[in-house]
Amino acid sequence: MEQISIPLNDEIASLYISASREKRKKAELLINLWLKDFFKSKKNPKDDLFKTMDEISDIAMKNGLTPEILEEILNEES
């Protein structure tokens, strides 16, 4: 896999750096999916967003993410 550098605002960079290895891997997967869809797409951006969200949902469910676990993650305090 090739690595590139993308500028981030200070808050996002700090959150990424301080995140666990597992969270960083999940973020990288989501970013890769989004960028692939963003750059390859020639359709309505809204349709692309929903397609990407569906792909992310499928991957998350295959990896054991349930609605309950997602709710717990979303309610976690930083």
What is the per-residue pLDDT for 71?
A: 86
CA distances 70 to 10, 19, 43, 57, 64, Å, are: 26, 17, 29, 11, 10
15 is a domain residue:
no
9 is a domain residue:
no
pTM: 0.53
Of the candidates 65, 68, 54, the residue with the CA atom closest to the CA atom of residue 26? 65
What is the per-residue pLDDT for 78?
A: 57
Is 65's pLDDT higher than 60? yes
2 is a domain residue:
no
Name the CA radius of gyration of the chain, rounded: 14
44 is a domain residue:
yes
10-22 mean pLDDT: 95
Which has more confidence, 36 or 44? 36
Written as six digits, the tokens of 59 are 């991957």
30 is a domain residue:
yes
Residue-number span of the structural domain to which 44 is assigned: 20-74
What is the per-residue pLDDT for 18?
A: 96
**Structural domain count of the chain:** 1
